[in-house]
A = this chain, B = another copy of it.
Amino acid sequence: MAADSLSRVFAALADPTRRDMIARLAVADATVNELAQPYDVTVQAVSKHLRVLEDAGLVSRTRDAQRRPVHLEAEVFELMTKWIERYRRQAEERYRRLDDVLRSMPDDVAPTPPIKTGEPS
């Protein structure tokens, strides 16, 4: 299913709790317990969320005794912005081009497909 990395990243960020964790990790690294604090869920649930984020490459976990500090890996964001920007630009350019075409179109070229109707000759 969502095997490709882009799908994993988008899916990971589709959850508000996970986005909030990202927001907090942008400020400082944190342990699983610390991350779990503000939410009304078990530590296990948070651990699962972190796994999703880790699989998406958005965070990494190191070892510090029995603690597992979580660290934000912001580079992956570029993957997304690249994808997004690509199509945003493409769409924008298309609109621009379409505008030009419409503006330069003489009256006798109707935008109505001249298929078998009262033929516009």
A residues with a Cβ closer than 8 A to B are 2, 4, 6-7, 10-11, 13-16, 19, 22-23, 25-31, 34, 64, 69, 71-72, 74, 77-78, 80-81, 83-85, 87-88, 90-92, 94, 116-118, 121
Contact = CB atoms under 8 A, between A and B. Distances in A.
The 8 A-B pairs with the shortest beta carbon distances in the complex, nearest first, are: A29-B118, A11-B14, A10-B14, A74-B91, A26-B90, A26-B87, A77-B88, A26-B91
A85 B74 CA distance: 10
Q: Report how many copies the assembly holds.
A: 2
The binding surface of chain A is classed by DSSP as helix
Chain B CB within 10 A, most for which of A2, A11, A74, A81:
A74
A72 B85 contact: no
B7 A14 contact: yes
Contacts of A34: 116
Contacts of A92: 74
Nearest to A23: B87
